[in-house]
Structure 1
Amino acid sequence: MSITVFLEVQLRPDTVGAQAEDAIRETLVATAAFDGNEGLQVLVDDADPTRVIVVETWTTAAHHDAYVAWRQTPEGASALGGVLAGPPVTRTFGRTIDL
């Protein structure tokens, strides 16, 4: 069953613009290529450009778990941490309501 993950990050104000966008792009190229990733979208808050939400779709929760574990390794490290004002907040959604 597919899952959707919202990764909410707060950028440091001094990195908003090209520096933060480059770090996000660099990070998400590797995310998109990771086994089980079905898609990514980056949303920037209109009222606060330091607040960004990455919407990720994964084939299964196990695929996302493997990705998160990989990001904790030296090989999975990214430049994103250098532009964040604090730790990201992750929300995972696997259940849907049929309409």
Structure 2
Amino acid sequence: MSMTVLLEVQLRADLPTETVEAAIRETLAQTADFPGNESLEVIVDDADATRVVVVERWASSADHDAYVAWRATPEGAAALGDVVAGPPVTRTFDRSIPLA
């Protein structure tokens, strides 16, 4: 069963936009290539451009768990860590309510 992850991140305001966006692109290119990732989107808060939400779709919770475990290794360390102002907030959703 597919799942959705919302990763809310506060970006550092003291860095050039190009630096921040390059780190996001590098990190998410790795995420996109990870087995089980179905899609990624970065949405930017209209009221605060340093606040973004990464919307991730994963084929399964197990795929996402494997990805999180990989990110905790030296090989999986992300460039995104250098451009965030604090710890991200992660919300996972693996159940939905049918509307019809």
Structure 1 outlier segments of 4+, above 6 Å? none
Query: The residue matched to 1:13 in structure 2 has which SS?
Result: coil
Distance 2:15 2:21 in 1: 9
Query: Following superposition of structure 1 onto structure 2, how do residues 34-49 of structure 1 map, counting pairs within 5 Å?
Result: 34-49=34-49
Query: Following superposition of structure 1 onto structure 2, how do residues 1-99 of structure 1 map, counting pairs within 5 Å?
Result: 1-15=1-15, 17-99=17-99
Distance 2:15 2:7 in 1: 18
Distance 1:15 1:29 in 2: 21
**TM-score where L is the length of structure 2:** 0.97
Distance 1:84 1:54 in 2: 13
Q: Which has the higher helix share?
A: 1
**1:16 and 1:50 in contact (8 A); partners too:** no
Query: The residue matched to 2:14 in structure 1 has which SS?
Result: helix
RMSD across aligned C-alpha pairs, in angstroms?
0.7
Displacement after TM superposition at 1:15 (Å): 2.2
For structure 2, the 5+ residue unaligned runs are none
**TM-score where L is the length of structure 1:** 0.98
Query: The residue matched to 1:74 in structure 2 has which SS?
Result: coil
Distance 1:31 1:73 in 2: 14
